[in-house]
């Protein structure tokens, strides 16, 4: 048996961060994923809104670096939970438990490029300051002129 999901979509809200009593990080967020097919009646694309939960380091990454509107790839498994509500009705919820989450774009706001924590992993590349052309062509390389 296999339960694997791979989704690409945009965050519908900023991730909600919390910790268990044991100190395990949890991040909850939603993503909007467009369907390949269009609605046959209206001709418009349809979108699914999917709840995602991440734990530990993945949760810390999501909370620190991702915000609403960011394009992400989520890999994980589908989890269906059932419970009886206070009013006695049976409720069911489906969510993706993420094993990995990758940001696929840059923040739209340049100020948002900096992470939310102290760890500065996003570094703006600096252009080289070479003053003249650099001749690094190897004359023995048959593909050097391509």
Give Cα 131 to chain centroid, integer Å. 40
Query: Domain map of the chain by residue range?
Result: 5-108
Q: Examine the pLDDT at 120 and tell me if it is beyond 50.
A: no
Q: What digits encode the pLDDT tens for the residues 21-71? A: 999 999 999 999 999 888 888 888 899 999 999 999 999 999 999 999 999
Total-model pTM: 0.69
Q: What is the mean pLDDT of the chain?
A: 81
Residue 14, φ and ψ in degrees, nearest 5: -65, 145
135 has pLDDT over 70 = no
What is the CATH superfamily name and number for domain 5-108?
A: Nucleic acid-binding proteins (2.40.50.140)
């Amino acid at each position: 048996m296999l339960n694997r999901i791979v989704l690409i979509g945009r965050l519908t809200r900023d991730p909600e961060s919390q910790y268990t009593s044991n100190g395990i990080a949890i991040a909850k967020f939603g993503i909007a994923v467009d369907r390949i097919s269009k609605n046959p009646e209206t001709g418009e694309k349809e979108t699914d809104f999917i709840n995602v939960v991440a734990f530990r380091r993945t949760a810390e990454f999501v909370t620190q670096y991702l915000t609403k509107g960011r394009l992400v790839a989520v890999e994980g498994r589908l989890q269906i939970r059932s419970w009886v509500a206070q009013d006695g009705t049976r409720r069911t919820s489906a969510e993706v438990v993420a094993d990995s989450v990758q940001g696929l774009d840059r923040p739209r706001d340049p100020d948002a490029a900096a992470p939310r924590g102290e760890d500065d992993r996003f570094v703006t590349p600096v252009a080289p300051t070479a003053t003249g052309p650099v001749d690094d062509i190897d004359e023995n390389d048959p593909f050097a002129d391509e």
